[in-house]
Amino acid sequence: MSSAPVYNFAYLDEQTKRMIRRAILKAIAVPGYQVPFASREMPMPYGWGTGGVQLTASILGAGDVLKVIDQGADDTTNAVSIRKFFEKTAGVETTSLTGDATIIQTRHRIPEEPLTADQILVYQVPIPEPLRFLEPRETETRQMHALQDYGLMHVKLYEDISRHGHIATTYAYPVKVEARYVMDPSPIPKFDNPKMDMCSALQLFGAGREQRIYALPPYTQVTSLDFEDHPFERTKFEKPCGLCGATGVYLDEIVTDDQGGRLFVCSDTDYCEGRRGHETDGGVL
């Protein structure tokens, strides 16, 4: 492998890391506010977690243990390739065990196992602006955040109720941070929203294409938007996980045959395997 290119530790050059690190500190100081940053071209396409990868690369140290999940799973293409990327460019130890990881990069889920104060959760974010689909102009949304003008978001949720009888948003469900900024929690299921509130771990959000970083320090108040007569409700599942029998966890539907057979199993593969005593190696089928 002597002909392989030699990268700086964790791929990014030091000036890029400094720029991202400065943005991270501002994001922590103003929880929920989206800090612009000069996102770099990464050796993977947009949509594959370039924002999350740049955050991880900027905070990662030689002693860290990295876990990467994609929709809760450690063994999907996106998770495997990002894990391999950091094994190669930073030489860090990687794991699939939530409890062993110091940094967890995630796409669209929060692990079922409660996080600790020693851990950092890095989210990959496609569209960081919660108001973007209501108001396409950045100049306007920026002013709306400055003035706390969030009426439009409540109108959107109200229209959900008038059309469907309940708030039909099930993922990327908007939250309010410390009674100030409305924030997009990234496309996690709304089932995971309550886990963000007063979480012990530092949570960092990175959107590469949209060039934004935002953050939730530990023990930060995160409230899902709702109405007094239509309070926020967490998704409930009628049956337990078909593999480990867990209840109160987020389940994925898996089609098992062409006869209409289906199975509901934990979306968090590490949690499910842990409950089954790690007797299986990876995949559920």
Partner 1 sequence: MKPPAISPAFHDVSRQSQAVFRAIMQAMAQPGRTGLLDTGFETPAPLAPGAAAILLTLADFETPLWLDATLSASPATTDYLRFHTGASLVSDPQSAAFALIADAERAPPLTAFSQGTPDYPDRSTTLVFQVGSLDGQDWRLAGPGIKGETVFGVSPLPAGFMQQLQENNACAPLGVDVLFASQTRIAAIPRSTRIMEAR
Query: Which residues of this protein are in contact with partner 1, per CB under 8 A?
Result: 8-10, 14-15, 17-19, 21-31, 33, 35-36, 58-62, 117, 142-143, 146-147, 178, 180-181, 200, 202, 215-221
CA–CA separation, 50 and 180 (whole Å): 28
Give 50 or 203: the residue with its C-beta nearer to partner 1: 203
Would you list the DSSP string of 201-265? SEEEEEETTTTEEEEE-TT--EEE--BTTB-------SS--TTT---SS-EEEEE-SSSS-EEEE
Catalytic residue among 52, 241, 242, 274: 241
Please state the closest distance from residue 166 (CB atom) to partner 1, in A.
31
Q: Which is nearer to partner 1, 143 or 280 (CB)?
A: 143
CA dihedral 137, 138, 140, 143 (to 10 degrees): 170
Complex with partner 1: residue 18 or 166, whichever CB lies closer: 18
| Annotated catalytic residue, options 32, 52, 242, 274 | 32
- For the bound state, the minimum distance from the C-beta of residue 117 to partner 1, rounded and expressed in Å, comes to 8
32 tagged catalytic: yes
Q: How far is the CB of 191 from partner 1 (least distance, A)?
A: 24
Taking the complex as a whole, how short is the minimal distance between the CB of residue 203 and partner 1, in angstroms?
A: 10
Report the DSSP pairing between strands 103-107 and 93-94. Answer: unpaired
* Shortest Å, Cβ 64 to partner 1: 9
Question: Of 29 and 155, which CB lies nearer to partner 1 in the complex structure?
Answer: 29
244 among known catalytic residues = yes
Active-site residue among 72, 199, 272, 274? 272
Measured distance CA(103)–CA(124) in Å, rounded: 13
CB within 8 A of 4, min separation 6: which ones?
Answer: none
199 is catalytic: no
> Are 256 and 263 in contact, with CB atoms under 8 Å apart?
yes
Name the residue among 127, 171, 151, 186 with its Cα closest to residue 159: 151
* Catalytic-role residue among 51, 199, 266, 274: 266
Smaller CB separation from partner 1, 220 or 269: 220
Do residues 55 and 120 make contact, with C-beta atoms less than 8 angstroms apart?
A: no
Q: Which residues are catalytic?
A: 32, 241, 244, 266, 272
